[in-house]
Amino acid sequence: MSFIENIEKLEQVYLLGKESSELEALSLQLGEPAYRGRQLYHWLYTRRATDFDSMTDLARSLREQLSEIASISPVEVLTDESAEDGSYKLLFGLPDGMRVEGVMIPDGERLTVCLSSQVGCVIGCGFCATGQIGFRRNLSTAEIVGQFTALYRTVDTRITNVVMMGMGEPLLNSAEVFKAARLITDPDGLAISRRRFSISTIGWVPGIQAMQKSGLRLKLTVSLNGTTDEQRKQLMPLSSKYSLASILKAASDYAGSSKQRVTFTYLLLKGINDSLTDARRLVKLVRQIPCKINLMEYNEIGDQFQRSSIEQTEQFQETVRSAGLTVILRASRGRDIAAACGQLAGGYQPGTGSTIP
C-alpha cells in the first residue's frame, strides 16, 4: 500500500521506520524531487529530529504538508525510571494504547539499549515477566526504531550497543526486526555498528536461518537455559518445537557464515539446571561452536523459581571455564526498578493482558 493510499484510508502514517528509497518515493508522490526524501532521511536518522519545523533545509510548504499528513514516531514516553546502578527504564505508549518497555544500560564507555520486539510474548517462559503477559501483537519497524530514538534523547552520550532482548521473541517478528536493524546500523543514519547489534532468541530455528540469509551479519544470542530438551520444555514451553540438536546446528551454521562467535546465555535456577552435571553437559553441547557463554542470575518475578547460590554459581562457572570455554557471569542491572532481564512487563498485569493503573 502506498503512502497516498494510507492517507486516503485515513490511516496514520509514521516516517520513522521508512528507508531512504521509501522516503524518496514519498517525495515524488508529494510532487517533490526524490532528493527531498534523502534530506528527510537525514533529518529523521542522522539528526534524529522530533518535529518537521526543525527540518530547515526543506521548503516550508513541504514541512507544512508533512505535518498535516504524517507523524514522525508512533512511540510516546509515558514514564521513565532510573536505577541505583545508573540504568534507565522507559515505558512507551503505542498508538493503539498498548505498552512496551525499553532499557538503557551504561557500563564505562559502553552504553547499551535494550529494545522490545513484541507486546507480550508467546513463548511463555515461567521465569520471565513478559512471558506471563501472553502475546498481544508484533511491533512495527517504526515502533522498534521509535524506542531507539526515544532512548537516545534521554542521554547526551552516544549509544554504542543495541540488544533485541526486551519484551518478545525477536525472530517471531523477523521482518520488522531486520528492517529496524538495517536502519539502526545504516552508516548514513543512526550508525550503530552491526557487530554491536545483537538479536536474542530462545532458539527459533527458522528465524536463525532467516537471519543468516539476510546477510546482515548481526550478533546472535541464543538463550539455552537448559542442557536437555526436557529441561527446556519445562522452562520455555514453546522452545520445545525445536530440539537442542537443531538449534545448535543452526547456531553453528550462523557462526560459520557470519564469522562471529555466537553468545549462549544460560539462566541459572536453583535445583533445576545449575548442577555440575548440567555444567558438563553444557560444555559438550557447545564446545565445537565458536561461542562465548553468559551465565545469568535469576531476577525474581515470583516465588516459582529461586536464584542459584553464589557457591553453586561459582562452581558451575569454573566447571565450564576449566573446559577451555569463555564464560562470563553477567551482572544484573536495574533490578530495583524491574528493568533487569526477565522483569520487563510493560505495565501489564500478568496473566490478564490488562494494564496496571
Question: Residue 356 above 60 pLDDT?
Answer: no
User: For residue 173, which of 137, 202, 198 has the smallest C-alpha distance?
Assistant: 137
Architecture per CATH, 76-337: Alpha-Beta Barrel (3.20)
Distances (CA, A) of 160 to 111, 184, 261, 291: 5, 11, 19, 22
Nearest to 12 by CA among 78, 94, 90, 87: 94
> What tens digit of pLDDT does each residue of 59-112 get?
999 999 999 999 999 999 999 999 999 999 999 999 999 999 999 999 989 999
Q: Which position has the higher pLDDT, 301 or 292?
A: 292
Q: What H or E segment, with its residue span, contains residue 324?
A: none
On the question of pLDDT at 352 being above 70, the answer is no
How far is the C-alpha of 289 from the C-alpha of 249, rounded, in Å? 9
Q: Say if CB 141 and CB 179 are below 8 A apart.
A: yes
- For residue 125, what are the β-bridge partners? none
Cell of 28: 515524488
All residues at 6 or more sequence positions from 199 whose CB lies less than 8 Å from its CB, including other chains:
164, 170, 171, 177, 181, 211, 218, 219, 220, 221
Q: Please answer whether residues 211 and 182 qualify as being in contact, where contact means their C-beta atoms are separated by less than 8 angstroms.
A: no
Give whole-number Cα distances, 289 to 40, 198, 272, 328, 348, in Å: 43, 18, 25, 17, 38
DSSP character for 356?
Answer: P
pLDDT at 357: 42
Spatial distance between the Cα atoms of 211 and 206, rounded to a whole number of angstroms? 9
3-69: CATH, from 1.25.60.10, 3.40.720.10, 1.10.150.530, 3.30.70.980: 1.10.150.530
Q: What is the DSSP letter of 260?
A: S
C-alpha cell of residue 352: 490478564
**Domain limits, CATH 3.20.20.70, in the chain:** 76-337
CB 209 within 8 A of CB 171: no
pLDDT of 4 over the 90 cut: no
| Active centre residues (catalytic) | 101, 341
pTM of the model: 0.94
Segment among 4-18, 49-63, 198-212, 262-276 with least mean pLDDT: 4-18
pLDDT at 207 over 90: yes
- Write the pLDDT tens digit of every residue in 115-149: 999 999 999 998 999 988 999 999 999 999 999 99
Q: Which one has a higher pLDDT value, 24 or 352?
A: 24
Q: Name beta bridge partners: 105.
A: 112
Locate CATH 1.10.150.530 in the chain: 3-69
